[in-house]
Structure 1
Amino acid sequence: MDVGLFFKIASQVIGGLGVFLLGMKHMSEGLQAVSGDRLRKMISAVTNNRVMAVIVGVLVTCLVQSSSVTTVMVVGFVNSGIMTLMQATGVIFGANIGTTITGWILVLKIGKYGLPILGIAAFFFLFSKRERLRYIGMTIMGVGMVFFGLELMKNGFKPLRSQEEFNAWFHAFHISLDGGLLLAYGNIIKCALVGMILTMIVQSSSATLGITIGLAATGVIEFQTAAALVMGENIGTTITAWLASLGTTTTAKRAAYAHVLFNVLGTCWFIALFPVAIRGVTRLIAWKTGFNPLEIGIDDMDEARFGQVITAGIALTHTTFNVANVVIFLPFAGLLAKFVTRLVPEKETKEVTHLTYLDVRMLDTPALGIVQSQGQINFMAESVEGMMGQLRECMETEAEQITLESKLFRREEILDNVQTEIFLYLSNLVSGQVPHDVTTKSHQQMRIADEYESLSDYIINVLKGIKKLHQNKMVLDGPARDKLLTLHDRVATYITRVNEYVKDETSGNLAWATSEGAAIGELMKESRREHLARLQKEEVSPLFSLAYTDMLNFYRRMKDHALNIAEVVAGDK
């Protein structure tokens, strides 16, 4: 092949692939922005019901336009404790079906109209003042870029048909369904391996699907060769989730292995039945279009029509394979989860003072990345509740609780670092072009994380007050302890109720939070008056009085920070 021709082909194919990938990115980001809260609600709707988890996986992947993004997201959610392994398995199953939407988009008769669609949509994206309209423009612009990129790749591949050396090389992958089965299966496996390796390199099954369709639609490779490549691409796409699981929790690794096993086992059975399965798919295409992809060549008909039939055949093969896989393996999802649990045993872990659950890969999908940070906000809420319980235990007895106290100090140190890492994560999340609702939610989460960190500080301040009494050979006497425990329980209940608003992501009941906060304030004033009366009667020492009134002030600050959280959740701050 002449160098000039090679350069021309390489330029068009590489340029087309770049435009195709950029189009997929814009389409994904636009759809995520337009869907907004609906996408987050889908994730929160995931339950241990397998069918529901599959449906969520399908819908989310259709919206983000990438099974790799969905599976990386799932690994991140499992890592941060938002999803269980069983839930993740169902979503991964659904992601495999959802990714087939790319093939069906490419079946649409748009082709050469991709460029004008791109241009018109770009005007809306660049000049519209309405955010929603701008993101709709971005989505349509992405669609236009996908088709324009595919058209460039097709035009780049066309000259390969007349190059004998390429034809001879591709012939080594020729799959004859009517010849010897041994040779046919050997070539099927070779094609699957090529598809797998190519997908592992580019880390995008949509990109390799686009290349496969480009080669098949221009007649460079046969339909059955393209179908075998698609099988391999289904294995290759698992590399993204596997890489995402490195350095994560054991459960997150199990989710990644479940994805690998599901796709590998599914590809194995489909390859075993390849001759029968492909004939069945092509008969469906022939029934719908009047042409059997196995029996036609590009010289037998109009080039555009040929491309459409072949593209539809590849899309149907991809869909049939993934739907059949889910139907077959869904009843055994529990067994798969048990198998990967044994395959990846639990390791002894030590509680660390830094956060390891915010996966930076989630920054590529802001609408879903905000769900991950919400999981860590919930972790802070639960930690503060736990600290309140441990603090009460320290107050109940006169003796020092050394082990319990060290746990409280350790937990406060963790929450300090958690708050810092949430702030850095959310700052990076909103640093690019993100929807307004994601920005608003991020700012709310930053504020709530700061309030929880302050709550943990005041819990420790109360503990230090108790320790100060112990150091001075003093203890909380009966009346003081009873009053402080009553106040503690009231504030702890208040914090628990506010935490429910945070976890449910509802606007909460600000009127209740305000009135209950005022009632707690009155209880504190009453406690202070009673204590001052005891001081006047010289029932307590001035040093004890100072420590006790400080503790009352710390509880007042706890109430204030909890009220601040309720106001942020309600959108009042």
Structure 2
Amino acid sequence: MKAPAPVLLCLLIVLAAHGEESLPHHELTYAVLEQLDISGNLQAGEAGLELPQELVVQVTQAEEPVADVPVRFAVTAEPRANATPQSQARLSDTLVRTDPLGFARTRLQLGRATGDYQVSARAGNRELAFTSTALRRGWYFVATAQFLGALALFLFGLYYGSKGLRRVAGKRLRALLFSLTANRFLGVLVGIIVTTVLQSSGATTTLLIGLASAGILGLGQALGVILGADIGTTLTVQALAFRLYDYALVAAGGGFLLMLAHRRLRNIGQAVFGFSLVFFSLGLVVAATEPLRYLPATASAVAFLGRSPWLGLGFALIFTALVRSSAATIGLLVGLSFTGLLDLRAALPFILGANIGTGFAAVLASWRAGVEARRIAAGHVLFKVAVVAVCLPLLPWLARLIAATAGELPRQVANAHTLINLFAVALFLPLLGPYRRLLEKLVRSRPAEQFGPRYLDPRAVETPELAVAQATREVLRMGDRVQRMYLRAFTVFSERDKEGRRDLVAADDQVDELETGIHTFVARVAQEEMPEELSRRVIALFHATDALEHIADIISKNLMDYAHKNIEQGLAFSAEALEDVRDFHAEIAENLAGALACLATWNTDLASRLAAAKNRGIERQRQLQNRHLARLGRGRCEELDTSSIYLDFISDLERVNFQCAQIGFAVLESAHARRQRTKTRR
């Protein structure tokens, strides 16, 4: 009995469907061509637009491609916001037969809503799932702007937080550096502490350059501190490796409240607020760079960096030299590692480059400094270069070693930075003696060092305690030069010394240069927030510098003018007149020495005696004028010939005494402000 035609037709359809479902020996895989994934899985594109890459699968049998196999594609999941058919995702083809290479291709146009989309590919009873992400239109520009903004916020937070920390630890920081000994282990410890406060090993080295230029510490002491500084900067990176950015705004709010709560808590609040911004900006970096992991070019770039370590090293070196902080560079590297964009092998050259780049700020700071400062800067850079030269050939082995220290990539990056710098300490600490001698041979004194401020480090401005100490030392240096000018002035006048006169006139130009440098530096320091006591001391230094410059002008423009007349005209002073001028000059020399001692010690008793000497100087001038008039009354001809110069000379000596007294008044005003504040507290 023959079956009816409709029944046979249904049976054929069922058998055909069953045949499509059962491809017993066929395998369905994501398409790979010459070991390169061309499947288009895990793509990202702009919402409403077609994905840049096709979705491709491959059908094989016994690892050989199979042609003419039907593959069905379907959108299986998309954001709920795509409620209408017009807003939903669409495939260019839903049923595709494989080509001779076994490939089946289709294109996906994303829906209007951002979010994740899933497409299934089915051949027989085999099925694969494709995941794609729709990003908002123009996300490239938004992500770039967000990354740059996050970078700016990161650097600002690092600067602002470390500035608050420096203010909290200012006095202790200065005491630590000033009490350094030749003990290399103590130097390493001090370097760790100071860099934890300054948040930059480059800043620590620059500070050491200023102290070395000031003669406060030598090369041997500084080298140990540099090694410790390299460890200190790793502590910041270790903290950044914790995923704390989700809580950063809470901490920032707490820091802001501390800043408002009380003056004593303001600096602590600033430190908390600043470092909270650092963590918050890391979260922004993660959000801005997250879409990059969907781009096929990203994987290629990471693979290229792994094969070309010099490229990553050079980029990190330049970036670190610009921002002057290896912690900033590696902190951003930690942020990128949260997204999974980099692997450890690609990250290591960046870490090595950042370690070298941080030394360039010190090199620039020491360019016009003394030989000891240049040796410190060179020592810092050579430390880094030597460590990189050892580590670079060992990158594969180093990557395996560091990968064993932690399971998560951010922690591995932080550990790599720490281990590399610990290796540097272990390598160089026993060799500091020979290394110091090598630097002394490599970096020699210049034939003629250019005159100028020696102790003023512009980077110390952000730490007012240290900046005021440096300014005080520079003012004392200026005072020493003025004192030598003053002590020599009477001898040049009385002995008609032409060469000496030229020297003193030229010395005034050097004093003017110091005065300009000190005033500029002190004016910058005055703009910083600081305690009232320190602010008053800054004002006192400004007035003291002004007074010393006036004394130098009196010597070069007035006293040396009298010396010139004496040399040219051969003036004859009486023995009594010359003795009076010599005695008055000697009395004021003692007051000038007292003024410098007053600046060095800020002793109020000494300042009081100095201020009282103002009236004594005026009285002494009157006595000498009366003695001169008495000699004129006795008809002494030489007194008449030199009367004008004599009276002008003692008048100018009294003006020098007045400027010395001004220094005493400045110190007293500074101390008075401190006593007033103490009484208020009581």
1:236 aligns with 2:370: no
Code of the aligned partner of 1:386: R
Contact 2:162 2:198 in 1 (8 A): yes
SS of 1:100's partner is helix
Query: In 2 relative to 1, CA 104–566 (structure 1 residues): closer, same or farther, beyond 3 Å?
Result: farther
Query: In 2 relative to 1, CA 200–459 (structure 1 residues): closer, same or farther, beyond 3 Å?
Result: closer
Contact 2:461 2:524 in 1 (8 A): yes
| Distance in structure 2 (CA, Å) of the matches to 1:147 and 1:358 | 33
Cα drift, residue 437 of structure 1: 5.0
| Distance in structure 2 (CA, Å) of the matches to 1:94 and 1:565 | 40
Query: In 2 relative to 1, CA 46–481 (structure 1 residues): closer, same or farther, beyond 3 Å?
Result: farther
Q: TM-score, normalised by structure 1?
A: 0.80
Query: In 2 relative to 1, CA 572–484 (structure 1 residues): closer, same or farther, beyond 3 Å?
Result: farther
Question: What does residue 235 of structure 2 align with?
Answer: 101
Question: What does residue 566 of structure 1 align with?
Answer: 664
Code of the aligned partner of 1:538: G
Cα drift, residue 356 of structure 1: 8.1
Question: What does residue 168 of structure 2 align with?
Answer: 34
| Distance in structure 2 (CA, Å) of the matches to 1:113 and 1:244 | 38
What is the CA deviation profile of residues 22-79 of structure 1, one whole-angstrom value per residue up to 9, with x for unaligned ones?
A: 2101102212233343344444445666555544433332222222333334445555
* Equivalent in 596, 607, 627 of residue 499 of structure 1: 596
Question: What does residue 383 of structure 2 align with?
Answer: 262
Cα drift, residue 10 of structure 1: 3.1
Question: What does residue 543 of structure 2 align with?
Answer: 447
Query: In 2 relative to 1, CA 330–468 (structure 1 residues): closer, same or farther, beyond 3 Å?
Result: farther
Query: In 2 relative to 1, CA 327–112 (structure 1 residues): closer, same or farther, beyond 3 Å?
Result: same
| Distance in structure 1 (CA, Å) of the matches to 2:659 and 2:288 | 63
Cα drift, residue 195 of structure 1: 3.3
Question: What does residue 426 of structure 1 align with?
Answer: 522
Question: What does residue 297 of structure 2 align with?
Answer: 165
Code of the aligned partner of 2:489: L
Question: What does residue 536 of structure 1 align with?
Answer: 633
Question: What does residue 76 of structure 2 align with?
Answer: none
Cα drift, residue 449 of structure 1: 0.4
What pairs up with 1:88-487 in 2 under 5 angstroms?
Answer: 88-108=222-242, 110-125=244-259, 127-128=260-261, 130-174=262-306, 191-249=312-370, 251-271=372-392, 285=405, 293=406, 296=407, 306=408, 310-349=409-448, 358=456, 360=458, 362-363=460-461, 366-395=464-493, 398=495, 400-431=496-527, 436=532, 438-460=534-556, 461-487=558-584
| Distance in structure 2 (CA, Å) of the matches to 1:43 and 1:90 | 12
What pairs up with 1:48-63 in 2 under 5 angstroms?
Answer: 50-51=184-185, 53-63=187-197
Cα drift, residue 412 of structure 1: 1.6
Query: In 2 relative to 1, CA 272–496 (structure 1 residues): closer, same or farther, beyond 3 Å?
Result: farther
Code of the aligned partner of 2:198: V
Name which of structure 1's ranges 401-410 and 66-75 shifts more when overlaid on structure 2. Answer: 66-75
What is the CA deviation profile of residues 317-345 of structure 1, one whole-angstrom value per residue up to 9, with x for unaligned ones?
A: 32333244235324544544443444344
Question: What does residue 67 of structure 2 align with?
Answer: none
Query: In 2 relative to 1, CA 334–559 (structure 1 residues): closer, same or farther, beyond 3 Å?
Result: farther
Contact 2:302 2:343 in 1 (8 A): no
Name which of structure 1's ranges 366-375 and 209-218 shifts more when overlaid on structure 2. Answer: 366-375
User: Which structure features the higher share of helix residues?
Assistant: 1
| Distance in structure 2 (CA, Å) of the matches to 1:345 and 1:148 | 47
Code of the aligned partner of 1:550: D
Cα drift, residue 148 of structure 1: 0.6
What is the CA deviation profile of residues 239-286 of structure 1, one whole-angstrom value per residue up to 9, with x for unaligned ones?
A: 222333445555544433222112111232344666666666666x4x
Cα drift, residue 365 of structure 1: 5.0
Question: What does residue 303 of structure 1 align with?
Answer: none
| Distance in structure 2 (CA, Å) of the matches to 1:49 and 1:487 | 50
Question: What does residue 68 of structure 2 align with?
Answer: none
Contact 2:526 2:538 in 1 (8 A): yes
Question: What does residue 289 of structure 1 align with?
Answer: none
Contact 2:249 2:277 in 1 (8 A): yes
| Distance in structure 1 (CA, Å) of the matches to 2:447 and 2:45 | 61
| Distance in structure 2 (CA, Å) of the matches to 1:436 and 1:139 | 20
Code of the aligned partner of 1:238: G
| Distance in structure 2 (CA, Å) of the matches to 1:90 and 1:544 | 63
Cα drift, residue 173 of structure 1: 4.0
Name which of structure 1's ranges 370-379 and 381-390 shifts more when overlaid on structure 2. Answer: 370-379
Q: CA RMSD for the aligned pairs?
A: 3.5
Query: In 2 relative to 1, CA 13–405 (structure 1 residues): closer, same or farther, beyond 3 Å?
Result: same
| Distance in structure 2 (CA, Å) of the matches to 1:254 and 1:408 | 33
| Distance in structure 1 (CA, Å) of the matches to 2:366 and 2:449 | 19
Contact 1:78 1:84 in 2 (8 A): yes
Query: In 2 relative to 1, CA 370–327 (structure 1 residues): closer, same or farther, beyond 3 Å?
Result: farther
Query: In 2 relative to 1, CA 565–324 (structure 1 residues): closer, same or farther, beyond 3 Å?
Result: farther
What is the CA deviation profile of residues 200-231 of structure 1, one whole-angstrom value per residue up to 9, with x for unaligned ones?
A: 45443122111211232333323454344322
Cα drift, residue 424 of structure 1: 3.1
Name which of structure 1's ranges 359-368 and 542-551 shifts more when overlaid on structure 2. Answer: 359-368
Q: Which has the larger radius of gyration?
A: 2
Code of the aligned partner of 1:113: Y
Contact 1:195 1:233 in 2 (8 A): yes
Query: In 2 relative to 1, CA 470–12 (structure 1 residues): closer, same or farther, beyond 3 Å?
Result: closer
| Distance in structure 2 (CA, Å) of the matches to 1:345 and 1:451 | 37
| Distance in structure 1 (CA, Å) of the matches to 2:663 and 2:583 | 23
| Distance in structure 1 (CA, Å) of the matches to 2:250 and 2:660 | 54
What is the CA deviation profile of residues 151-178 of structure 1, one whole-angstrom value per residue up to 9, with x for unaligned ones?
A: 222233344444443223313344xxxx
Code of the aligned partner of 1:480: A
Unaligned runs of 5+ in 2: 1-43, 47-137, 673-682
SS of 2:341's partner is coil
| Distance in structure 2 (CA, Å) of the matches to 1:435 and 1:572 | 13
Code of the aligned partner of 2:248: G
Query: In 2 relative to 1, CA 43–105 (structure 1 residues): closer, same or farther, beyond 3 Å?
Result: same
Cα drift, residue 144 of structure 1: 1.1
| Distance in structure 1 (CA, Å) of the matches to 2:572 and 2:180 | 50
Contact 1:103 1:311 in 2 (8 A): no
Contact 2:595 2:607 in 1 (8 A): no
| Distance in structure 2 (CA, Å) of the matches to 1:536 and 1:322 | 84
Question: What does residue 83 of structure 2 align with?
Answer: none
Cα drift, residue 558 of structure 1: 2.0
User: Which structure features the higher share of strand residues?
Assistant: 2
| Distance in structure 2 (CA, Å) of the matches to 1:70 and 1:279 | 32
Contact 1:483 1:527 in 2 (8 A): yes
Cα drift, residue 477 of structure 1: 4.3
Unaligned runs of 5+ in 1: 175-185, 286-292, 297-305
Question: What does residue 646 of structure 2 align with?
Answer: 548
Query: In 2 relative to 1, CA 390–106 (structure 1 residues): closer, same or farther, beyond 3 Å?
Result: same
SS of 1:456's partner is helix
